[in-house]
Structure 1
Amino acid sequence: MMKKLQLLVVVLMLPLLAFAQKSVSASEILAKINRGEAVSYKNATIEGDLDMTKLQNMKMKQDGKNSTKEYTSTVTAPLTFVNCTFKGDVLAYFNPENGINLKISKNELYKTNFEKDVVFENCSFKEGAAFKYSAFDGKASFVSSRFAEEALFKYAEFEKGVNFSNVRFERDANFKYVEFPEMVSFAGAAFKQEANFKYTKFEGGVNFEKASFDGAANFKYAKISDNFNIKGARFNGGDDFKYTQLNNRQVSLTALLDMNK
């Protein structure tokens, strides 16, 4: 009887064990990146800051005009994180003078490029997440992830498809000056504070179907080619569509909503 009871307890515990997150140090992941190994984690809690801005292959380039030293690190293998929690910062951009804020130091900045696919699906970013100036040569997916602090993608360069469907942005979502060459999806995304797409170029169209904008929706000077899907999207905060262009024609939010009825 006792053995049967123990077996029953084990069987009942299996689903819980399957979803339990193991703890992984950020230093372990960085060691794999530095060795050029593919990184793949599922159901893991990442302890410490995942700072990819000072890899072993880091190179320095100096801008003669303003004496800024630009240090670029490169992640050469695929990154895959599924159902992971990042307790520290996830950094692909760092400015010693201003941290991960928007202003550029007069002296130096650090950034990280990604040569292969980057996947952060159903992940939770508890602290800062900075990908400013990063170049993504492969596909990028952040589907169903959650950003507790600012999601900083300003000036990021994407070469292939990008997916931010069902992402929850608790703080500012900064995509200012980003160029998306292929269709990008923010379907079902929740923007709790400012959604900054000022000067952003959606060259392959964009999908905001059923997205919610609780803060300011800033699309000033944005340029959209092909399709701008905002069916079922909710704009609960302020919005700025001044000089926004759809297929080279200036368009307002009211006109866009009418088009998507």
Structure 2
Amino acid sequence: MTFSNSFIDRAIILLICFTLVVSCASSQHAEGDNVISASQLISAIANGEPVAYRDVTIEGDLDFTTLQTTQLTPNNFVSTASVPLYFERCTFKGRVVAFVHHGDTAVSTRFLGSVSFNNCRFQADVDFRGAAFQHHLYLNQSLFDKQVQLQAVRVGGDLRLEKAVFSSDLYAQEAVIQGTFWGKEANILGQFSLQQADFWQNAVFSAIDIQGYADFGLAQFRRSAFFEYGKFHGRLNYSGAIFRYRAEWTKARFEQAADFQNAWFSFKPVFDEVDYRAGIDLSNVRFDGGEPEKNPQ
């Protein structure tokens, strides 16, 4: 069987057109429009559509508590986001909310898929208090203009905020991170609170820079904790913290008083070449693996 040149030319043109249509259709969701509304995102999530956007501005408050809710107790409800969420180089103009409290009634959010905000900017408050993330939560290289609240979150996978910049306070008291915590080179201009946080795997704070008060009091580190090259400009609190494996502050800098009172170290901690500007309080500390060799600079 033979085909004429005109038939072959038409077939090639049709193939090119089909390829372009498929390409546009597949990239439309990934790239999205330049500006979309937060209500559009909530509608997509409610319809079970995976959310993936790049280089998009989101207008309005992104309120995950407006998804369908389930009543847990007479005064407590949980909303559920059942699809993965992925954002890259996106700007959020309004608040990002996963917790609301009206009188005696509270609504928190459960995320069944991974949640990823990579290299994004948040121009308003971020409130994830009490949220449950079944998989990972990524905030890498993102810029937060206002306060970020992660109190009592539970993360089933990794929590990553490497090279993220927090222009205000970051609160994560009583957070439970079942995967690895990655905070390498994060910069926090306000207060950083991890009081009573529970780290199930390695916790990496290498080269973190905290301008305000840093509170790790009563935190539990079930695996290794790394704070080497960290810069702590405000008061530093580790009182009552539990370190079950290796803990290291090599070449860290403490510009104000560092309080380790009543902490417990199962292994010998490492404080090599630490710059103690205002001293370190190790009173009533329990060293099961041997006391550290402090080398103030």
TM range (shorter): 0.7 to 0.9
Q: Is 2:82 aligned against 1:76?
A: yes
Q: Report deviation, 1:256.
A: 5.2
Matched, 1:61 2:67: no
Aligned 8 A contact 1:184 1:207 in 2: yes
Residue among 168, 177, 194 paired with 1:197: 194
The letter of the residue matching 1:219 is F
Contact 1:54 1:110 in 2 (8 A): no
| TM-score, L = length of structure 1 | 0.81
**% identity of equivalent residues:** 24
CA–CA distance in structure 2, aligned partners of residues 145 and 182 of structure 1: 20
For residue 52 of structure 2, what is the amino acid of its counterpart? S
Alignment root-mean-square deviation, CA: 2.1
- For structure 1, the residue ranges without an aligned partner over 5 or more in a row are 1-18, 64-68, 98-106
Cα distance in 2 between the residues matched to 1:180 and 1:62 = 25
- After superposition, what is the alpha-carbon deviation per residue over 1:12-60, rounded to whole angstroms, capped at 9, x for unaligned? xxxxxxx9x81111111111011011011100110000011021x2112
Map of 1:42 onto structure 2: 54
Distance 1:256 1:59 in 2: 47
Cα distance in 1 for residues equivalent to 2:227 and 2:100: 34
Question: What is the number of equivalent residue pairs in this alignment?
Answer: 225
* Counterpart residue type for residue 224 of structure 2: N
2:218 matches 1:221: yes
Q: Which residue of 2 aligns with 1:140?
A: 137
Unpaired runs of 5+ in structure 2? 1-30, 246-262, 275-294
- The residue aligned with 1:170 is 167
Q: Which residue pairs with 1:66 in the alignment?
A: none
Residues 1:185 and 2:199 are matched in the alignment: no
Matched, 1:160 2:157: yes
SS in 2 for 1:33: helix
Q: Where does structure 1 differ by over 4 angstroms across 4 or more consecutive aligned residues?
A: none
Partner residue in 1 for 2:6: none
Q: CA deviation at 1:259?
A: 8.9
1:250 equivalent in alignment to 2:250: no
Letter in 1 for 2:143: R
2:101 to 84, 95, 102: 95
Tell me how far 1:96 sits from its aligned partner.
2.6
Structure 1 residues 48 and 179 mapped into 2: Cα distance closer, same or farther (>3 Å)? same
1:46 counterpart SS class: strand
Distance in structure 2 (CA, Å) of the matches to 1:259 and 1:114: 42
Q: Distance in 1 between matches of 2:56 and 2:243?
A: 42
Distance 1:134 1:121 in 2: 19
Structure with max Cα Rg = 2
C-alpha deviation, 1:150, in angstroms: 1.3
Partner of 1:85: 91
Quote the offset at 1:228 in angstroms. 1.1
Whether 2:125 is the aligned partner of 1:128: answer: yes
- Per-residue CA deviations over 1:102-130 (Å, capped at 9, x if unaligned) read xxxxx101111100110111111110111
Alignment-mate amino acid for residue 62 of structure 1: T
Q: Distance in 1 between matches of 2:94 and 2:131?
A: 19
Q: Distance in 1 between the 2:273 and 2:198 partners?
A: 20
Query: Secondary structure of 1:109's partner?
Result: strand
Query: How far, CA to CA, are the matches of 1:256 and 1:96 in structure 2?
Result: 47
One-letter code of the match for 1:76? S
Query: What TM-score does the superposition give when structure 2 sets the normalisation length?
Result: 0.72
Amino acid at match of 1:258: D
